[in-house]
């Protein structure tokens, strides 16, 4: 019987298997070769695949993504690591002006993956804890992925590498070593992009979440079940394109919806989901769509402040009680 593996190791397995399967797949990033990456995720890759397929790059995210885009135009499938996704701001132009528009402008595919750790709960402070999904959700041509489970960390990364479009693959660093699950060995682990998962069925309120907040939703659901309130928990998995149908079908059933994410509430992607439900699912709503996000401030370094900053199951429980009482 297979042993449980970590979220981090599932990503490592996906990279390794895709590089074995397809010689056009290669890795580039800061300290990923000889050092094995900041989280040791690529340790041993250069010894196995060689320096032609595992590149140590300068401390310049713009050069990393520019190199990936150029390589993709020459038939390769680069996987670019951004050491912390906060630093993706340094390659915003390369992603939005080149990678995202390449197919539209020239009919040239851009099969690149930009992956890296994101999110709080690890005392990373304001420069290593951002949730950047909303920054790119408004950019056509870019896909955004944020897995919450070990199986999907592996399966979605495989799908992202095989996709012909640029994909930003966001990895919750809190989940890296704090989550273990049993997954089947080998190449059969594959999760299609753009499809949400109903993780827990319920009658009273839909919760749409991704990454860490999916697990906080489970905690809230267990506590509320003792009060006779059943939450339906939807793990969005892919943020763009997101699964409108699964979410709307759930709202039709429950009549209530809470969108639950770690990023700051103002301008967060939850607003897009809430707006869509309000427009397309208004007739089925028994209460206003509610959003839960972090405060509109930077992520604190001090652990007590960070714990206060990051939304949690108690925040969700309070919101559920409000919409149930509406």
Catalytically annotated residues: 128
User: Is residue 232 a contact partner of residue 250, using CB atoms and an 8 Å limit?
Assistant: yes
Three-state SS for 264? strand
User: Is residue 254 a contact partner of residue 323, using CB atoms and an 8 Å limit?
Assistant: no
- Pair of tokens at residue 94: 């390369």
C-alpha to C-alpha distance for 309 and 124, rounded to whole angstroms: 13
User: Is residue 143 a contact partner of residue 160, using CB atoms and an 8 Å limit?
Assistant: yes
The residues, any chain, with a CB within 8 Å of residue 124's CB and separated by 6 or more, are 84, 173, 299, 301
Three-state SS for 143? strand
Three-state SS for 253? helix
C-alpha to C-alpha distance for 35 and 38, rounded to whole angstroms: 8
Stretch (H or E) spanning 266: none
Of 139, 126, 127, the C-alpha closest to 114 is 139
C-alpha to C-alpha distance for 267 and 135, rounded to whole angstroms: 9
Three-state SS for 172? strand
User: Is residue 119 a contact partner of residue 212, using CB atoms and an 8 Å limit?
Assistant: yes
C-alpha to C-alpha distance for 188 and 201, rounded to whole angstroms: 26
Label the pairing between strands 77-81 and 113-118.
parallel
């Amino acid at each position: 019987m297979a042993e449980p593996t970590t979220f981090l190791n599932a990503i490592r397995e996906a990279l390794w298997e895709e590089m074995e399967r397809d010689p056009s797949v290669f890795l580039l990033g800061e300290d990923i070769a000889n050092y094995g990456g900041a989280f040791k995720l690529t340790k041993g890759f250069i010894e196995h695949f060689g320096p032609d397929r595992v590149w140590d790059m300068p401390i310049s995210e713009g050069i990393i993504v520019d190199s990936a885009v150029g390589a993709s135009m020459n038939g390769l499938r680069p996987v670019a690591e951004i050491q912390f996704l906060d630093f993706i701001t340094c390659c915003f132009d390369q992603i939005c002006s080149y990678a995202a528009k390449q197919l539209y402008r020239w009919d040239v595919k851009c099969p690149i993956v930009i992956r890296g750790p994101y999110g709080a709960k690890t005392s990373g402070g304001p420069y290593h804890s951002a949730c950047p999904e909303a920054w790119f959700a408004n950019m056509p041509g870019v896909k955004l992925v944020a897995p919450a489970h070990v199986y999907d960390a592996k399966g979605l990364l495989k799908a992202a590498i095989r996709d012909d479009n640029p994909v930003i693959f966001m990895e919750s660093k809190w989940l890296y070593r704090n989550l273990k699950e049993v997954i089947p060995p080998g190449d059969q682990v594959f999760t299609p992009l753009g499809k949400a998962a109903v993780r827990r069925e319920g009658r009273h309120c839909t919760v749409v979440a991704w990454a860490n907040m999916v697990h906080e939703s489970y905690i809230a659901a267990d506590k509320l079940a003792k009060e006779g309130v059943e939450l339906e928990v939807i793990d969005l998995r892919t943020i763009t394109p997101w699964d409108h149908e699964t979410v709307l079908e759930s709202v039709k059933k429950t009549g209530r919806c809470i969108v639950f994410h770690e990023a700051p509430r103002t301008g967060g992607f939850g607003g897009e989901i809430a707006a869509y439900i309000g427009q397309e699912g208004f007739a089925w709503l028994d209460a206003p769509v509610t959003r839960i996000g972090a405060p509109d401030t930077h992520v604190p370094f001090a652990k007590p402040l960070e714990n206060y900053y990051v939304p949690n199951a108690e925040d969700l429980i309070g919101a559920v009680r409000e919409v149930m009482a509406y």
